[in-house]
Amino acid sequence: MSDAPNPAASSNAPQPSGSEESIVPLRVPLPELVAPYGLAEVEARLDAAARRGRLAGFETIGRSQPDPVGQDVFEASAFGAPFDGVLIATCEQVLPDGGTVLSFRAHMKPLMPWVVAVVLVLTVWPGVVVTESMLASMFPTWDWLWGTTWYWYLALTAPFVPWVLWRSVSRSRAVIHDSAHKAVASVAKELGAEFRAAARA
């Protein structure tokens, strides 16, 4: 059995607040990890964990310089709702005993929010055409209603497009941040790493 410290026992580990349904607030930064291994062993252990289904989306990031300090070293999935994100680990320090200090950041994948935004915008005007056609077939003599469909239809739908997108992005950021904290905890467990509070900018 390994004598590595239990990350869950660290005072710097993120603690649940309230019910199991609560999520980690955005104001709580992602912690740093102090791993007792060099980067090669860190990546090998996390790759093995990913192959066993314990670290979703794990991929190493090719480093452009021999010195790993300050470079991104791997990424993992940070799930959101409805938009997913990615957790990126950076090598902050190589310790004299051969250990590694890792910092983390998470961000939303940019493609799907743009796709949804385009779809929402492009579906507004076809809705005008469909609604006008439907009203004209149901009330052919009420041209005062369907003859100006675009006027009231756009007023009822277009203002909600930005709100729907903003709400989706805001919710996704919150869930991604919470998922990133859980992913960091998984990394700590796989490495037997200790939590360390991230330095504030």
**pLDDT tens digit sequence for 9-35:** 444 444 444 334 688 999 999 999 999
Give pLDDT, residue 21.
60
Q: 7-14+27-109+177-196: which CATH number, 3.30.310, 3.30.70, 2.30.30, 3.10.20?
A: 3.30.310
Q: Are 5 and 187 in contact (CB under 8 A)?
A: no
**Residue ranges with strand state E in 26-137:** 32-35, 59-60, 72-78, 85-94, 100-108
pLDDT per position as a tens digit, 108-118: 999 999 999 99
Q: Which amino acid is at 53?
A: G
Residue 200 has pLDDT above 70, yes or no: no
Give pLDDT, residue 10.
42
Query: pTM value?
Result: 0.79
Residue 172 has pLDDT above 90, yes or no: yes
CATH 3.30.310 segments of the chain = 7-14+27-109+177-196
Q: What does residue 164 show for φ and ψ, rounded to 5 degrees?
A: -60, -45
How far apart are the C-alpha atoms of 32 and 195, rounded to whole Å? Answer: 6
Average pLDDT, the chain: 86
Residue 163 has pLDDT above 90, yes or no: yes
Give pLDDT, residue 153.
85
How far apart are the C-alpha atoms of 76 and 180, rounded to whole Å? Answer: 9
Q: Are 89 and 74 in contact (CB under 8 A)?
A: yes
